[in-house]
Amino acid sequence: MTIPRNLATLLQTAARHYPVVLVTGPRQSGKTTLCQTIFPDRPYVTLEPLDRREAAITDPRGFIEEFRAGAIIDEVQQAPALTSYLQEEVDRDATPGRFILTGSQQFALTDQVAQSLAGRCAVLTLLPPGLDELQRFPAPPADLLTTLWMGAYPRIHDRNIPPDRWLADYFATYVQRDVRSVLNIGDLMVFTDFVRLAAGRTAQEINLSTLGGDAGVSHNTARQWLSVLEAAFLVQRLPAWHNNQRKQIVKAPKLHFIDSGLACYLLDIRTPEQLRHHPLRGAIFESWVAAEILKRQVHAGHQARLFHYRESRGLEVDLLVEEAGRRLAIEAKSGATVVGEFFASLEKLRVSMPDIRAGIVHGGAAAVRKNGMLAVPWNQMQRLLEET
């Protein structure tokens, strides 16, 4: 089943202004489905098959000639030099929306486009569906734990595939194919252990020396491998918010897995009920909240403006969101009962930043207001983000 995606309007608008549009994002986030839905009459070609890939690599002009009227070209990173020849073609004919490209590896793709198609190409990012998009499936998850455990990759929800089985195949394919294509890793088991250890640190500040030491690799290797996870849209690193005119803020970034289902799989959480009592339930929930905000921003075509806050004296707030010139501080609490201590850090932050809006996303079912701050249930997060 094809569901409407929030990026669709932006994709249509970009295709009316640019001769090339690139839609990037993780594998299986729905890029191909979206592009074929928006442009149903456009020829489609994927560069995954070796014969098509070889044709694009060895005879790029001939390949482009075959699709001179325009096409959807899937997995364009498989033929890196093709973008240079596309530049020549769209300079000859700059009809808007001629070529719609997709790519699941951000490793070098964005650099290729920046060098070859600067000013000619719009770059959009499609992540797995946000909660509002998941609700468009016929049988979306009904409770928080199931939502976290299943994650948001469309095929799980579209085809009713057991999440742990699908995610096992997804991760194996990612390691065997994508990682091998960009890293010279002699022992993929070591890399797999590294990713699992990283999942255990979701919603924590990053200490590369400790992470690398636990995985048995150097600090520099840990940095490189984490960059690969980020470039593959599996994790996001949230910088610490800071203002040079204010008190010193600890500047270590925070790690968040973008898909909670993948984090659960890597942590060997095999049922929603197991997640209920897992010591990392709160961390997984915080990462899910961060991912929902990230999806909201990038699917609207905005640069991600998401931070965490921690002062050197100890005050911490999970998330600080900047949107439309406003700041919103958020605490993520997976518990279903809203208690007064949930508001403590936000109340302290408002002393030093009195103009900031503040609120809580929690795992319960009822909204609560206290001292001008709103605590909303997990499935009403949009209300917190949009309320002035």
Classify residue 162 as exposed, middle or buried by CB count within 10 Å of its CB (0-12, 13-18, 19+).
exposed
Query: Does residue 98 contact residue 22 with C-beta atoms inside 8 Å?
Result: no
β-sheet bridge partners, residue 73: 45, 101
| Class of domain 8-125 (CATH, top level) | alpha beta
Least confident of 58-72, 260-274, 299-313, 350-364: 299-313
pLDDT digits (tens, 9 = 90+) for 101-112: 998 865 556 666
Chain-centroid distance, C-alpha 239: 15
Which pLDDT band, with edges at 50, 70 and 90, does 277 fall under? Answer: very high
The share of the chain scoring above pLDDT 90, in percent, equals 78
pLDDT digits (tens, 9 = 90+) for 190-231: 999 999 999 999 999 999 999 999 999 999 999 999 998 998
Give the pLDDT confidence score for residue 108 in this predicted structure.
57
Least confident of 37-51, 145-159, 178-192, 329-343: 178-192
Give the pLDDT confidence score for residue 111 in this predicted structure.
65
Beta strands in 218-315 (DSSP E): 235-238, 254-257, 306-310
Residue type, 168: A
Structure token digits, residue 319: 């998330």
Least confident of 22-26, 182-186, 195-199, 375-379: 182-186
* Residue 235, helix vs strand vs coil: strand
Rounded Cα–Cα distance for residues 348 and 109 (Å) = 43
What b/e sequence results for 54-86 when a residue is b if at least 16 CB atoms lie within 10 Å of its CB, and e otherwise? ebbeeebeebbeebeebbbbbbbbbbeebbebb
Q: How far is CA 200 from CA 32, 40, 193, 256, 283, in A?
A: 31, 42, 11, 10, 9
Chain-centroid distance, C-alpha 314: 29
In DSSP notation, 62-114 reads HHHHHTTT-EEEESGGGSTTHHHHHHHHHHH---TTSEEEEES-HHHHHHHHH
What average pLDDT is seen over the chain? 92
Rounded Cα–Cα distance for residues 270 and 268 (Å) = 6
* Cβ partners under 8 Å of residue 23, min gap 6: 7, 11, 31, 34, 35, 100, 101, 102, 103, 124, 125, 126
Give the pLDDT confidence score for residue 105 in this predicted structure.
65
What b/e sequence results for 303-313 when a residue is b if at least 16 CB atoms lie within 10 Å of its CB, and e otherwise? ebebbbbbbee
Residue type, 329: A
pTM of the model: 0.94
Give the pLDDT confidence score for residue 248 in this predicted structure.
47
Give the pLDDT confidence score for residue 376 in this predicted structure.
97
**Residue ranges, CATH 3.40.50.300, the chain:** 8-125
pLDDT digits (tens, 9 = 90+) for 62-102: 999 999 999 999 999 888 889 899 999 999 999 999 999 99
